[in-house]
Amino acid sequence: MLNAHFTRPAIVLLATVVLVPLTLAAQNAPISSGMGNEDTGAPRLNLQQTPTEQLIDKLKLDGKTQAPDVRLLLMDANREAASSGQKMLELRQRLVNLALQNKPEEMAPVVEAYAAAAADMAAIEARAFTKIYALLKPNQQSSASQAFAIMAGMFQAPPPRGGAGRSTQRGGGQ
C-alpha cells in the first residue's frame, strides 16, 4: 500500500500540492446561470479581474496615488518570486511523478525542497504586503487581512494547461 510509506506531513503536503492548483483553477471558471443573456437585475461580476485589481478594490485604494504604487510593489515582488515559483512548480511535478512511479522513498527530499521554496514564496508575499500596508490610511487598514488572503499564491506560476509546447503566463501579480 502506497500510504504506508508516507509520513502524515508528506501526505498533507502532497494533497496540498495537488489540490491547491485545482481549487485556484476552479475559482477562475466561468459561472453560468443558465438564464441566457437577459439582464436579471443582479450585479454583474467581473470574472476577468486580476488578483492585483481585486486587492486594490478590497483595500479601496486611491487610483491616482496608492494604486500605482501598489502595482509597482507587486510587479517587483512578482519578479523576486519568479525563481521560487518555478521551483515549486517543478517540485510539484516531481512529487506527482514519484507518487505515480510508486517511489515513496525518494519523496522526502523533494517534500523538504518544496517546503523550503514555499517558505521563500510566503516570505516574499509577506514582505510585499508589509510594504503595501505601510501605504494604507487608517480607514483602509481594516480590510488588510482580507486583502492579504487575496495575495496567497499570487506570484506562483499556474500549472501548465493543455499539451506540450504551450506557453504559461506568470501569476496575477503583473
- b/e map of 80-113 (b: 16 or more CB within 10 Å)? bbbebbebbbebbeebeebbeeeebeebeebbeb
C-alpha cell at 141: 487598514
Model confidence at 33, pLDDT cuts 50, 70, 90, reads: very low
Nearest residue to 70 via CA among 55, 92, 88, 48: 55
- Confidence check: pLDDT of 6 > 60: no
- The structural domains of the chain, ordered by start, are 2-17+52-151 (1.20.120)
Residue 2: DSSP 8-state: G
Give residue 139's region: left, alpha or beta (phi > 0; psi -120 to 50).
Answer: alpha
Q: What is the pLDDT of residues 44-61, one digit of tens each?
A: 555 678 889 999 999 999
Q: What is the pLDDT of residues 132-164, one digit of tens each?
A: 999 999 999 988 888 888 888 888 876 666 544
Residue 131, classified by CB atoms within 10 Å of its CB into exposed (0-12), middle (13-18) or buried (19+), is middle
